[in-house]
Amino acid sequence: GENVEQHPSTLSVQEGDSAVIKCTYSDSASNYFPWYKQELGKRPQLIIDIRSNVGEKKDQRIAVTLNKTAKHFSLHITETQPEDSAVYFCAAGFGAAGNKLTFGGGTRVLVKP
């Protein structure tokens, strides 16, 4: 089955700096890669996703890049703000298999003011 590795497990940045989280996946059939943000005690919420036919996607301060050959994808947050502090999860899914998601272990991001 699919296996998703996520690094780093914790990330501390100064407000205004950039944050980068990296994930690798094992199943070359995976074709959907969402990123979720989970604040303490809250449900995971999608912040951005990318399909395998696209190499990069951007939404304001958030961008995701995908390298299918190397089977890795990354989340980039620019101009970080204290409200970006949360746990971020990457995931991989395969549309023909119902898009069940395999999640990485999470990255706890702390943005210091």
Partner 1 sequence: DTGVSQDPRHKITKRGQNVTFRCDPISEHNRLYWYRQTLGQGPEFLTYFQNEAQLEKSRLLSDRFSAERPKGSFSTLEIQRTEQGDSAMYLCASSPRGGLAGVSNEQFFGPGTRLTVL
Q: Which residues bind partner 1 (CB under 8 A)?
A: 4, 6, 32, 34, 36, 42-46, 49, 51, 89, 91, 93, 95-106
Q: How many CA atoms lie within 13 A of 100 on its CB side?
A: 4
The answer to whether the peptide bond before residue 8 is cis (omega within 30 degrees of 0) is yes
For the CB of residue 65, give the shortest distance to partner 1 in the complex, in Å. 18
For the CB of residue 61, give the shortest distance to partner 1 in the complex, in Å. 19
Contacts of 43 (CB under 8 A, 6+ apart): none
For the CB of residue 15, give the shortest distance to partner 1 in the complex, in Å. 25
- Nearer to partner 1 by Cβ, of 10 and 18: the residue is 10
